Structure 1
Amino acid sequence: MKQNILIIASLANSLPHFRGDFITKLVQQGYNVYAAAPDVSEKVSESLSKLGSTYIPFKLERTGLNPIKDFKSILQLKDIIVKNNIDLVFPYTIKPVVYGSIAANMAKTPTISLITGLGFTFSGASKKAKFLQNISKALYRYSLRKNKMVIFQNKDDLQLFLDHKILSSPENTAIVNGSGVNLERYPYVPSKVNGQKVKFVIVARLIKEKGIQLFLEAATKLKKQYPLSEFHVIGGLADSPSAIKLEVLENLHQSGTIVFHGSRNDVPEFLKDMHVFVLPTFYREGVPRSILEALSMGMPIITTDTPGCRETVVQEKNGFLIPPKQLNPLVEACRYFIEHPAMVAQMGEKSRQLAEQKFDVNIINSQLVEKIDMVLKSQTK
């Protein structure tokens, strides 16, 4: 008899886009897969159905804390678990992990939680960030205590959970290298640079924590010295106190300092024409998916020496790790490629090799399914 897995997400679109290969793998392994998320569109629902999974809606306030609404989300998830005879719950991102784990515990159903990065809460130094951090730690500590396993995407996040006593020991924890990248969907394209016309690109939410402000400042500085170089920005405008204003981006675009593309659905096709991927983030990442996609396509990487990002770069082999929040190291790393354009292809080849060896989605998903198999087998003993 087939066993039932429930994957819980806070953003419906992330299920087919970021977990599609994982869902396919689970279905191939003989599991019935249910996918729960709020505010799903008909297009996403159809995509999930094509993958062989069943979509189940539930209500969730993605941001903020509202005890009454949040408790209703927990009860709704518990009902979903019970009504669909779920054998294992697999939540990812903070609210699904916390509320999904509590609901599963109420339903006496085993849970494996995936920690995909710690975000603004564990990145910021403001009073608000520290207040949220204390709440998040308490919620994680309470919700994870009966999880069968907690999986992290980098060793720094695991260590933080141990240091803050969110988890009492590393027992029943595991580390995987991010969400993985589909090497066929993001094919290797050897870079060809025409003189100093090096094309740098950032793909990110347009908030300061992702390093977009630093990228704009670096572009402003370098464009004056190297007018042939190009600085491309891809990302949707964010509803956040730290969001970059549209008028700033449009002014820089009109002056020729950057090329602002807004949000795009054809990122793999677009990256084929780019040369160097830049993400000077100081956001607490798991392993940034945007970097994995750039690695797979054979692009050198400039990113920060921070949790999740440092896993993606072998210093001076496939790119550069720079200190967070510092402009000059970013400028100098970009300048290196402008003045040594032959290194773009050389380092890009190393990036592709790293993607194949470490971040192939097939490797990551096999590891995740292995953990699921192990937990479910231990339940039947």
Structure 2
Amino acid sequence: MENKRILIVGSTSASLINFRGDFIKSLVKNGFEVFAAAPEFDKKTYDQLIDYGATPIEFKLQRTGMNPIKDAKTILELKKIISNNSIDLVFPYTVKPVIYGSIAAKLCKVSVISLITGLGFAFTGLTLKARVLQRLNEFLYKISIRKNKVIVFQNSDDYNLFLKRRIIKKKNKVEFVNGSGVNLDKYRYRINNNMSDNISFLFIARLIQEKGIGLYIDAAEVLKKKYPNAIFHVIGYVDESPSAIKLEKLNALHTEGIIIYHGPQKNIADHLYKRDVFVLPTYYREGVPRSILEALSVGLPIITTNTPGCKETVKKDKNGFLIKPQNLEELITAMEYFITNKAKIKEMGIHSRKYAEEKFDVDIINNKLISIVKSALRH
């Protein structure tokens, strides 16, 4: 019998390596023929997917905004990819690939396992634009994923919201995984014996307000005055989002010594090894943030928000703190705790690594996804 053909659809080519690379390798190892589709491949990513044993395929996707003509062309392009490559099962993740990939697969009468990796800005409900986008996305999800073979969620809050908004029904087949998982060998544990006054904090994310960069900077400005030796690192890229922080502001804060801005980085593990505490005060609708999982694996205490996807990564008073979204006072209090209780950094870091091993090991996640794929193809 010929190997079954799986098409993985992502919104960026880099995410196929960074977030699905281990999964792709697991699929290939299990005898599947893997096709990996995304917009705008660079040579390095293209070649890396070839090395994994996958076939890269490029398609056009407008990542932000809604243009009916361009979106229709994306669906038709995905439909052609599915047909031309005799795909047996489509596996899309992130919002637009899930919606358009599911519609394209339905037109080809091909099964779909969709992975809901968080609901993003549209489901924050913070602005009129977000509320309008939420209604539109709800409609698009409803017409696209209800007939999917399996819908995989990364947290129960997203599932319950889909039920409440009648996007899916209770009869829909659903599964749950703990995020994209983290490679425990790549993000090795290191014991932190730092007892100096140079406690360093690290923020990694897209540099938009919803991810909490503004709150992090405000906290850094307050704490730097009180604890001059504390260090506040920022890693991430500035995009064209209306809520993106200005590069000029980051550079000015860097020059003033309030933060150390590293720009976008590829060697994230190296930066994690050098820091003491990981901070992500997001109020974006996350799945389970990959950056937090990497910090857990290395052995950093976590400060994040008590929101869907994030709250699953912290055991209260064991490996960090959960704060209320957009609450600067709570963020400052949590960060100051580690400055004044240095021994807790090592203690909580040990618990972070244990939690990563128990719940977020990429091998555990991928074995479950492989099991879901095999079951879907059998039936």
The TM-score range, normalised by the shorter chain, is over 0.9
Report the equivalent of 2:328.
Answer: 327
CA contact (8 A) 2:125 2:134 kept: no
Taking the aligned partners of 1:250 and 1:42, their CA distance within structure 2 comes to 31
Shift in alpha-carbon separation, 1:31–1:236, aligned structure 2, 3 A: same
3-state secondary structure, aligned to 1:242 = coil
3-state secondary structure, aligned to 1:89 = strand
| Number of residue pairs the alignment of both structures matches | 378
3-state secondary structure, aligned to 2:20 = helix
Deviation track 1:315-369 (CA, whole Å, cap 9, x = no partner) reads: 1100000000010100000111011100000000000000000000000000101
Residues 212-291 of structure 1: pairs in structure 2 closer than 5 A: 212-291=213-292
Deviation track 1:302-326 (CA, whole Å, cap 9, x = no partner) reads: 0000000000000110000000001
Taking the aligned partners of 1:230 and 1:214, their CA distance within structure 2 comes to 16
Taking the aligned partners of 1:298 and 1:81, their CA distance within structure 2 comes to 42
3-state secondary structure, aligned to 1:62 = coil
Report the equivalent of 2:317.
Answer: 316
Residues 1-381 of structure 1: pairs in structure 2 closer than 5 A: 1-169=2-170, 171-378=172-379
Taking the aligned partners of 1:124 and 1:47, their CA distance within structure 2 comes to 38
Q: Which amino acid letter does the alignment assign opposite residue 176 of structure 2?
A: I
Taking the aligned partners of 1:56 and 1:219, their CA distance within structure 2 comes to 43
Shift, 1:171, TM fit? 3.7
Deviation track 1:81-136 (CA, whole Å, cap 9, x = no partner) reads: 11111110000011110111011011000000000000000014211111111100
TM norm structure 1: 0.98
Deviation track 1:180-216 (CA, whole Å, cap 9, x = no partner) reads: 0000110001112233221001011111101010100
Taking the aligned partners of 1:220 and 1:75, their CA distance within structure 2 comes to 50
Q: Which amino acid letter does the alignment assign opposite residue 123 of structure 2?
A: F
Greater shift in the superposed pair: 132-141 or 59-68: 59-68
3-state secondary structure, aligned to 1:111 = strand
RMSD of aligned alpha carbons: 0.9
The ranges of structure 1 where at least 4 consecutive aligned residues each deviate by more than 4 angstroms after the TM superposition are none
Taking the aligned partners of 1:334 and 1:125, their CA distance within structure 2 comes to 26
Q: Which amino acid letter does the alignment assign opposite residue 346 of structure 2?
A: A
Taking the aligned partners of 2:304 and 2:335, their CA distance within structure 1 comes to 11
CA contact (8 A) 2:158 2:308 kept: yes
Taking the aligned partners of 1:274 and 1:342, their CA distance within structure 2 comes to 15
Shift, 1:170, TM fit? 5.6
Taking the aligned partners of 1:218 and 1:356, their CA distance within structure 2 comes to 31
Q: Which amino acid letter does the alignment assign opposite residue 323 of structure 1?
A: K
CA contact (8 A) 2:6 2:88 kept: yes
Greater shift in the superposed pair: 273-282 or 232-241: 232-241
Taking the aligned partners of 2:106 and 2:172, their CA distance within structure 1 comes to 19
Greater shift in the superposed pair: 123-132 or 84-93: 123-132
Taking the aligned partners of 1:243 and 1:124, their CA distance within structure 2 comes to 18
Taking the aligned partners of 1:263 and 1:125, their CA distance within structure 2 comes to 27
Q: Which amino acid letter does the alignment assign opposite residue 91 of structure 2?
A: F
Taking the aligned partners of 1:204 and 1:306, their CA distance within structure 2 comes to 16
